[in-house]
Amino acid sequence: MRILVIEDDPILSHHLNVQLSELGNQVQVALTAKEGFYQATNYPIDIAIVDLGLPDKDGMTLISDIRNADVKAPILILTARVNWQDKVEGLNAGADDYLVKPFQKEELVARLDALVRRSAGFVKPTISSGPLQLDLAAKQVTLNAEVMEVTAFEYLILEYLMRHCHEVVAKQRLLDVVYGDKEGDPNTIEVMVSRIRKKLNKGGMDNPIATIRGQGYKFNLPCS
């Protein structure tokens, strides 16, 4: 599960990153509303955790901005505010659930899992380009109606490029998609893109991913 944590407390955000990553999730952390909005609208996420007391913008406004940008991923509010008016305001802004600090890790994880399960029916299930299809729920790639074997990282790269087809995607952005806050070697992106190309070419797709020198990569074919 790809989780975006928008929380300005560096200690709490670090603990959330560590705890959720240990459960096998890919976690991105943003310490400001500006950074959180950028990540929510530029990177694929399955769910967002948003603190209301952000330094540069109120969390309620950020949630509205994210929804107005047509981000469909569920949003869980994480806050110390306990009155019911704040809960109602948050839900009306576009959040899907509300968890008050302090909280138990087990309850947070249970709420995240429930929100993702509940939202599965509302998220577009596939991305297609001719004979190529990505099943977003199963994280599976099929080409010419046959399963195409890809690694988890290759899948993340291919999904991101297809979500942004005909856009030039910087190598650094793909590094962020694959490794999150952890430092990764840029050369690994070149290797993984090369492997994806070979698999697609073998299936009859002509020049699906272009290298734009000095800028990044672009998925050349139309997607739906």
pLDDT in tens, the chain (224 residues): 789 999 999 999 999 999 888 888 889 999 999 999 999 998 888 899 999 889 999 999 999 999 999 888 899 998 887 777 878 888 888 998 888 888 888 888 888 888 887 776 555 578 889 999 998 777 889 999 999 999 989 998 998 899 888 888 888 888 888 877 677 788 899 999 999 999 999 989 988 999 998 889 999 988 88
The residues, ordered by sequence, that sit 6+ positions from 47 with a Cβ below 8 Å of its Cβ are 1, 2, 3, 4, 73, 74, 75, 76, 112, 115, 116, 119
Look at the chain and count its residues.
Answer: 224
User: Token pair for residue 104?
Assistant: 């138990």
Q: Which domains does the chain have, with CATH numbers?
A: 2-122 (3.40.50.2300), 126-219 (1.10.10.10)
pTM for the full model? 0.63
